[in-house]
Amino acid sequence: MADFEIGDVVKGKKFGPMEHDFSGVVEKVYTNSIMISIQDFDPSDKSGVNELNGRAVIRQKEAKMIKAVPREEKDDDEANDKKDDKKSKSTKSTAKKKTSKKSTKKADK
């Protein structure tokens, strides 16, 4: 599975209202899928693209990379720092404060 980034140009398989394959630019990357802005499609799929508001969420496994944006190399130190930050945040205790509620019952007359 390729790692996708925002700005990559990808090709997607037909699905739902689309009768042909299409291509577009990655707008958002999720865990197992990506949202793309549909740029190139068959003219007969125009109504399908309009129905999808020009966007589609497709599986990363089904997307083919056409053109990748330049990648920046990540330093190992920065990656380790981010992991350490996540660990320290997750180990903090989240103690709940006990609050006493006063009940206001109306007496029967």
Residues 63, 13: Cα–Cα separation, whole Å: 7
**What are 33-50's pLDDT values in tens digits?**
999 999 999 999 999 999
Contact 7, 30 (CB under 8 A): no
CA angle 63, 3, 6 (to 5 degrees): 80
**Model pLDDT for residues 12-39, shown as the tens digit of each residue:** 999 989 999 999 999 999 999 999 999 9
Per residue in 58-77, pLDDT (tens digit) is: 999 999 999 988 888 766 66
Instruction: State the pLDDT confidence band at 57, using cuts at 50, 70 and 90.
Output: very high
